């Protein structure tokens, strides 16, 4: 087995996982197949390039009482990677007591699964903290028992992390499971949270798991199957997930898209042009028999998931995963909450984001302030060594980068840059204050932003510039004021630095040569 990482952005990554039956790319969604009620012909998976599927070992076993175990690839008519879930949930649900943890491990070995899950003890959604703690301990105990019993080393074994909504328990579970030699780790079923749109809790759960587990191993999220959620969970470091949602949604006439769910009954035209939607209209699909409609809709739903995974991988390659998240928040207000919670962990995300990206980044507004590149810039700015008691010259940083090369700034900068008693800083929309020392660093020149002329944004940025100026405790401040941003900054400086003389110079109508002449005359 190997897990090779080819690309990273935020906590998300592109990888290749190799099992004894083949390789597949991550992030990946295992379509969950009901072994006793297949909806889609396995040929379709091959044609669509889906190289790993999942089924349920417990359901397989239960469907064949008294019969010898049969190779799972043969049962499903699928030669490539098959993962099997242990059926812990079903066992809880049906209250079946006849299956022991060791039995499920042995059964998965006999049917030749490629990725097997030990029989864990799911915490569930409604457990209190004490009960959650018990499920964590019980899962660890079962993990140790399973590790002793495992004979086949060619199977990749999954160690599930439990704890439910109790974040401390998730963290403890991740630390404990992380000490044990599993090939893959998994986070116990947050399906109910996703259905209830409690994305805030989900974010904390995933981050807690991620912090405790070895980063070199893949992390699987149980039961995530809506493409609209994929960018968020991938950005948090989930490499794989599994779901039967494509089929369950199809059963009730629901059509999955990257932005959300549509009702087949209400669709006039399919926006998707996959092999299903290209050949049939919504009206035609509505007229089909239930099984045929369900089959076609399942296929579209599945292709919508894999199309989204491609988009995510491309976003990782180009360093645009954050952009995709911001974009998606406009699809559903609940996703705003999702991103808002991710922003709480932006310094953790920053640690895993490449320092240099193949392409520039975008600053769309407030939410972009928390993207890792911005977080990193703020840290770097705070570390710039400053000499106090100089004169500070504040110049407008407009669209032209590096900011000092702006034709309005260049004549001023070239006359002042070599003076040891002057410190130059640009006031900008995306980054707030940009000291001259950082003007040529990534990603400043590569950042696209726009000025929304929002007074609140101006004020907030002016406060940041003011904080920077205070750090320098300057002798004099020269503000070359431009536009409303300049006015807002003038007000902020006047308010906060009363003892300090701020010399305002209007950029408009004044030639840069004259501006710098005035500054030099007034310099002390
Ligand atoms: Zn389609």
Residue 135 has what pLDDT?
93
How high is the pLDDT of residue 63? 86
pLDDT at 97: 57
Q: What angle do CA 344, 346, 351 make, to 5 degrees?
A: 145
Confidence grade of residue 387 (pLDDT, cut at 50, 70, 90): confident
- Residue 96 banded pLDDT, cuts 50, 70, 90: low
C-beta separation of 142 from 163 below 8 A: no
Q: Which of 145-154, 402-411, 443-452 has the lowest mean pLDDT?
A: 443-452
Q: How far is the CA of 260 from the centre of ligand 1 (A)?
A: 14
Window from 48-52, 99-103, 207-211, 291-295 with minimum mean pLDDT: 99-103
Q: What is the pLDDT of residue 10?
A: 97
Cα 274 to averaged position of ligand 1 atoms, centre (Å): 4
Q: C-alpha angle 317/322/326, rounded to 5°?
A: 135
- C-alpha of residue 256 to centroid of ligand 1, in Å: 9
- Please compute the mean of the pLDDT values over residues 417-429 and round it to a whole number: 94
Q: Which two tokens stand for residue 52?
A: 């790993």
Distance 257 CA to ligand 1 centre (A): 9
pLDDT at position 214 is 97
- The pair phi, psi for residue 15, each rounded to 5°, is -145, 175
Q: Report how far residue 137's alpha carbon sits from residue 143's, in angstroms, rounded to the nearest whole number.
A: 10
How much is the pLDDT for 397? 95
C-alpha 241 to ligand 1 mean position (Å)? 21
Q: Which residues are catalytic?
A: 85
**Residue 16 Cα, ligand 1 centroid: separation in angstroms?**
26
Selected residue with higher pLDDT from 422 and 502: 422
Dihedrals phi, psi of 98, to nearest 5 degrees: -80, 0
Q: What is the residue whose two structure tokens read 């995709």?
A: 324
Ligand 1 centroid from CA 56, angstroms: 27
352: helix, strand or coil: coil
Query: Token pair of 464, please?
Result: 């940041």
The CA 231 to ligand 1 mean position distance, Å, reads: 19
Greater pLDDT, 508 or 179: 179
Token representation of residue 65? 């009482």
Region 14-33 average pLDDT: 98
Cα gap 117→101, rounded to integer Å: 10
Q: Output the pLDDT for position 58.
A: 87
Mean pLDDT of 81-93: 84
As a whole number of angstroms, the distance between CA 274 and CA 474 comes to 62
Nearest to 117 by CA among 145, 155, 77, 61: 155
- Of 505 and 267, the structure prediction assigns the larger pLDDT to 267
- d(Cα 120, Cα 375) in Å, to the nearest integer? 38
Beta-carbon contacts of 524 under 8 Å, excluding residues fewer than 6 positions away, are 391, 475, 476
Q: Which residues make beta-bridge pairs with 4?
A: 16
Location of structure tokens 């002798």: 475
Do residues 485 and 396 touch, judged by C-beta distance below 8 A?
yes
Tell me if 168 sits within 8 A of 199, measured CB to CB. Answer: no
CA–CA distance, 32 with 181 (Å, rounded to integer): 26
pLDDT at position 496 over 80: no
pLDDT digits (tens, 9 = 90+) for 194-238: 888 899 999 999 999 999 999 999 999 999 999 999 999 999 999
Is the per-residue pLDDT at 133 higher than 90? Answer: yes
Q: What is the C-alpha end-to-end distance of the chain, expressed in Å?
A: 69
Q: Give the chain's mean pLDDT.
A: 93
Are β-strands 261-263 and 254-256 bridged in parallel, bridged antiparallel, or unpaired? antiparallel
CB–CB of 76/105 below 8 Å?
no
Per-residue pLDDT reduced to its tens digit, 299-357? 999 999 999 999 999 999 999 999 999 999 999 999 999 999 999 999 999 999 998 88
Task: Give the torsion through C-alpha atoms of 303, 308, 313, 318, to 10 deg.
Answer: 140
How far, in Å, from the CA of 338 to the mean position of ligand 1? 26
CB-count burial class (<10 Å; 0-12, 13-18, 19+) for 372: buried
270 Cα: distance to centroid of ligand 1 (angstroms)? 7
Which stretch of 13-27, 306-320, 481-495 has the lowest confidence by average pLDDT? Answer: 481-495
Please check whether residue 105 is in contact with residue 116, taking contact to mean a CB–CB distance below 8 angstroms.
yes
The residues, ordered by sequence, that sit 6+ positions from 285 with a Cβ below 8 Å of its Cβ are 264, 293, 296, 297
pLDDT for position 190? 78
Task: Judge contact between 276 and 296, C-beta under 8 A.
Answer: yes
Angle between helices 321-328 and 333-344 (to 10 degrees): 140
């Amino acid at each position: 087995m190997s897990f090779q990482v080819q690309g990273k952005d935020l906590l998300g990554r592109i990888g290749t996982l190799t099992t004894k039956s083949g390789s597949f790319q991550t992030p990946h969604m295992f379509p969950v197949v009901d072994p006793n009620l297949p909806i889609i012909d396995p040929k379709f998976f091959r044609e669509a390039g889906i190289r790993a599927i999942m089924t349920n070992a417990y359901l397989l076993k239960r469907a064949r009482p008294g019969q010898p175990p049969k190779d799972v690839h043969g049962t499903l008519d699928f030669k490539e990677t098959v993962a099997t879930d242990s059926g812990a949930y079903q066992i809880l649900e049906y209250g079946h007591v006849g299956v022991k943890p060791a039995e499920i491990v042995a059964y998965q070995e006999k049917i030749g699964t490629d990725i097997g899950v030990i029989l864990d003890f799911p915490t569930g959604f409604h457990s209190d903290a004490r009960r959650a703690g018990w499920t964590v301990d019980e899962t660890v105990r079962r993990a140790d028992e399973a590790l002793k019993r495992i004979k086949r080393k060619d199977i990749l074994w999954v160690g599930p992390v439990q704890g439910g909504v109790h974040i401390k328990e998730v963290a403890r579970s991740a630390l404990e499971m992380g000490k044990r030699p599993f090939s893959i780790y998994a986070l116990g079923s947050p399906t109910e949270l996703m259905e209830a749109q409690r994305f805030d809790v989900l974010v904390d759960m995933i981050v807690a798991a991620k912090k405790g587990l070895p980063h070199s191993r893949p992390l699987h999220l149980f039961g995530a199957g809506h493409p609209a959620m994929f960018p968020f969970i991938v950005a948090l470091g989930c490499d794989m997930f599994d779901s039967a949602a494509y089929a369950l949604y199809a059963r009730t006439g629901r059509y999955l898209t990257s932005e959300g769910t549509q009702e087949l009954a209400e669709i006039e035209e399919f926006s998707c042009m996959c092999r299903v939607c290209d050949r049939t209209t919504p009206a035609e699909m509505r007229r089909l028999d239930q099984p045929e409609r369900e089959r076609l809709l399942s296929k579209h739903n599945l292709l919508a998931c894999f199309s989204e995974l491609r988009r995510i991988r491309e976003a990782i390659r180009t360093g645009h995963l954050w952009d995709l998240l911001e974009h998606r928040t406009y699809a559903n207000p609940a996703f705003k909450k999702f991103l808002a919670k991710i922003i709480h962990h932006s310094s953790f995300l920053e640690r895993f984001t490449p320092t240099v990206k193949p392409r520039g980044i975008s600053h769309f507004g407030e939410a972009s302030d928390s993207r890792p590149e911005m977080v990193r810039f703020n840290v770097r700015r705070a570390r710039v060594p400053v000499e106090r008691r100089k004169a500070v010259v504040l110049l407008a940083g407009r669209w032209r980068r590096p900011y000092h090369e702006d034709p309005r700034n260049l004549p001023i900068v070239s006359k002042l840059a070599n003076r040891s008693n002057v410190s130059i800083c640009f006031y900008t929309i995306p980054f707030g204050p940009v000291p001259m020392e950082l003007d040529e660093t990534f990603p400043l020149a590569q950042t696209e932003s726009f000025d929304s002329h929002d007074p609140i944004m101006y004020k907030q940025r002016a406060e940041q510039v003011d904080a920077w100026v205070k750090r320098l405790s300057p002798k004099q401040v020269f503000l070359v004021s431009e536009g409303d941003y300049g006015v807002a900054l003038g007000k902020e400086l006047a308010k906060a630095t009363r003892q300090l003389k701020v010399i305002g110079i209007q950029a408009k109508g004044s030639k840069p040569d004259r501006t710098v002449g005035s500054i030099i005359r007034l310099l002390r």
